[in-house]
Every structure is written in structure tokens, then in C-alpha cells.
Amino acid sequence: MTRHVSRAALASTVLAWTADTGRPLVVGNGFLSREVVAAGDGDHVVHLLAGMGLAPAVAAGMTLAGRPAAALEGDGNHLMGLSGTATIGLAGIPLTHIVHWNGGWESTGGQRVVDLGRAHDIGATFGYATTETVDDPAALREALTSAANTDGPTLIHVIGAMGDPPAPRSALTMTDFTARFRHWTKTPG
């Protein structure tokens, strides 16, 4: 049996880390967004509904505006938004980019994405300071701690598996999501 990190463990670990380090967390759409809400969410989380592939780009903008941020997305979102990944790496934007790599667009029917074995060099190719692949919650916590002490961008691929039961739909409304987005995208100061 291959080791992997469940969506629930990923969401709770990343939520705790971003809360502890004072970073806003930008979450892509799909089952991960639901999982983050189910794990306790928090006012520091910005959900991008209908923003497939844009979480790292929004986190990069927040970081450049003076709010060091983190991005969390699934592998399907990640592959759809490689231009944001390239911009982050090539510009050296110091943010933490976490990708749940379960092999498919699970929330839309399980279509397969490119194998992680062929995509593991994405971070290095685009100039990320650090790229890691983890397959258990302890290794994820260690990678996040290391990322907090890295001057450049960090890409963490978290090995997942298809078939985790989805968390329930969120009771948060579009008005709630909009208010958070507006709050966290204001220039600090």
C-alpha cells in the first residue's frame, strides 16, 4: 500500500501552519476547499470559487503587496495554472505553494492528470528555491516548517489518493467568501 496524506489531514495541517505563521491561505476550488472549511477554516482563508488554477497567482499578488501568503490547491488546479507557478518561480516570490497530488480531477469525475513522476521537476524547472514531495503528515509539517525559513518560493507536492470521501458542502456564502477576499487583498499598512 502506497503512503499518502488524506485531504482531511492536509487541510488541518496547512490550516494550523498558516494560522501559526500569520499567513493568509488561498485555497483553490474543489474538494480541498470543502475540506478546509470542515477542518475549521478561519478568517485567514481565502477561497477561490470558480478560480481554477489561480490560487498561487492570487497568493503571489498578496505576497508582493506585503502579505506573505500560502497557496493550497489540487493537482488539477495546479496543472491548469502553471503560468502562476512559472511567474512565482521565475520572479522568486517567497511564498509556500502546496499541491495535493492525488492523480485526478476528483471533484469533476476523476479524470486523470499527468503522473507526478513526470511532473516532480516543475518547481525546479520554474526556479522555486525548494521543491519537496511528502507522503505523510509528519513530513508535511517538517516541509512547512522548512518553507517558513526559506527566502524564495517553496513548492510542496503532497501525495494523496483518489477516493477519500468528500467533506460536506460549506455553509459559507459567496458574500462570506467575497468579504474575506476583499479583506486580505487590501494593501497592508
**Closest C-alpha to 157, from 94, 87, 79, 84:** 79
- Answer yes or no: is 124 within a domain: yes
In this structure, are residues 107 and 31 in contact, taking their beta carbons and an 8 Å threshold?
A: yes
- Answer yes or no: is 63 within a domain: yes
Range of the domain at 128: 7-184
- Answer yes or no: is 64 within a domain: yes
Residue 51 grid coordinates: 478560480
Residue 55 is predicted with a pLDDT of 94
Measured CA to CA, the distance from residue 1 to residue 70 in angstroms comes to 30
Number of domains in the chain: 1
Residue 189 is predicted with a pLDDT of 55
What are the two backbone dihedrals, phi and then psi, of residue 118, each rounded to the nearest 5 degrees? -90, -10
**Closest C-alpha to 99, from 168, 30, 164:** 30
Give bridge partners of residue 99 from the DSSP assignment. Answer: 73, 157
Measured CA to CA, the distance from residue 121 to residue 44 in angstroms comes to 30
In this structure, are residues 172 and 33 in contact, taking their beta carbons and an 8 Å threshold?
A: no
- Answer yes or no: is 1 within a domain: no
Residue 117 is predicted with a pLDDT of 62
The strand pair at 25-27 and 70-74 is best described as: parallel
In this structure, are residues 58 and 71 in contact, taking their beta carbons and an 8 Å threshold?
A: yes
Count of positions (residues) in the chain: 189
Q: What is the CATH number of the domain that holds 64?
A: 3.40.50.970
Measured CA to CA, the distance from residue 34 to residue 10 in angstroms comes to 12
Measured CA to CA, the distance from residue 174 to residue 167 in angstroms comes to 18
Measured CA to CA, the distance from residue 26 to residue 56 in angstroms comes to 7
- Answer yes or no: is 2 within a domain: no
The strand pair at 104-105 and 111-112 is best described as: antiparallel
Q: What is the mean pLDDT of each run of 10 residues along the chain (189 residues)?
A: 85 95 90 87 80 90 92 89 92 95 72 66 88 94 94 93 75 75 68
